[in-house]
Structure 1
């Protein structure tokens, strides 16, 4: 009997909606921890909607980060207090959202716990949002770096900005903060989805 292919996903910093729409399709998946860390990706960046439009929140990495370091080795830099600045940005963007008070303390902990490694921060975020979105997929971790069928390899299928390839998924619109100023902005951070739709987030993910 042919062995079943286990899809491989990267661990992202507050993954976008597309990430979870793909992830929830699989009963079991592996999170990549042995890749050589690729810079300028969602692994340490996310996009939210603010009063000034879409903006990014980045996790700064220690200066010794190189392309030869494994994802599991990457360390976070706190020299510029990025975590408190990021939390203020999120509070400013979503403080008046309908569900902010319900999830404020949960989300804030990701910016106050002083994670040493990026992978630990990203995994805690992943497990939290899988729970909120009612995703039951079993999570495993890669034991080495393998090349697999492209249909099951999600390590490079999520794109960082509008200049790159668009998702071919159809996104269900929901009311966002600042909707009076901007048209619906699809595929933002899971923070945007949770703060604006609350318990109905899983309906959007399963659209």
Structure 2
């Protein structure tokens, strides 16, 4: 079985979903430290002037070493209305706004306390749109004990994975020999971002996958699953 191990990001980009569609199971890496100013609680969308961040505010005061699955949303801030307004301003004239835009806003405006619940629901929202069914499990439910490369190998072993699809960055820290010795084949994502038409002038890559769907609807699935090379170690 081929798995990916991915932190549950907020409104992920296309490369994130490229890994999902190329594996048989996804492990959400929720038991590692939350990183501020990263992609767990923010991501990029297009605007007429280029791109902007959409951010879900989280509580960090007194919680500096919290894991991703412990992060609470700061509901004292009016973040849901702010995100909704920003999406309307920048996308209400996109070709598929009426098909999915308001449904996505309804999802955002639901009651959320934990960031991980919001993020996984958003990821599942898009997988449903693309009619992609992938079983998933939380790393925290696997009761792991290790860190770094050993954590990844331990997750592979606990899920009975024979193959692991890593991001390209994995080459810098994964102990390839140890994976080989434990009969787990390493595969590296070699993602090439496709160009597609966007509602605003020009093309800017690495936007949230919402940008793709609002511009191309169900055709987004064909754009998403265009074959990218997967590099294998052995």
Partner of 2:211: 192
Structure 1 residues 136-145 or 26-35, which shifts more? 136-145
Partner of 1:177: 199
**Could you say which structure has the higher strand fraction?**
2
Looking at CA atoms only, which structure, 1 or 2, has the larger radius of gyration?
2
SS of 1:69 mapped into structure 2: coil
8 A contact 2:2–2:25 mirrored in 1: no
TM-score, normalised with respect to structure 1: 0.84
**Could you say which structure has the higher helix fraction?**
2
In the alignment, is residue 8 of structure 1 matched against residue 5 of structure 2?
yes
Partner of 2:152: 148
Q: Map 1:42-81 onto structure 2 (within 5 A).
A: 42-64=39-61, 66-81=63-78
8 A contact 1:27–1:136 mirrored in 2: no
8 A contact 1:57–1:86 mirrored in 2: yes
SS of 2:40 mapped into structure 1: helix
Q: Distance in 2 between matches of 1:68 and 1:131?
A: 33
Note closer, same or farther for the CA distance 1:5–1:197 as it changes in structure 2 (3 Å cut): closer
Note closer, same or farther for the CA distance 1:171–1:65 as it changes in structure 2 (3 Å cut): farther
- The offset of 1:187, in angstroms, is 2.0
In the alignment, is residue 108 of structure 1 matched against residue 105 of structure 2?
yes
Partner of 2:159: none
Q: Distance in 1 between matches of 2:62 and 2:35?
A: 10
Q: Distance in 1 between matches of 2:86 and 2:62?
A: 26
In the alignment, is residue 35 of structure 1 matched against residue 27 of structure 2?
no
Q: Which runs of 5 or more structure 2 residues have no equivalent in the other structure? A: 154-163, 171-188, 227-234
Partner of 1:88: 85
Once the two structures are superposed, residues 94-134 of structure 1 have per-residue CA deviations (whole angstroms, 9 ceiling, x without a partner) of 00001001112310123211301100100110111111123
Identify the structure with bigger relative contact order (alpha carbons < 8 Å, sequence gap 6+): 1
Q: Which runs of 5 or more structure 1 residues have no equivalent in the other structure? A: 158-166
Q: Distance in 1 between matches of 2:165 and 2:143?
A: 16
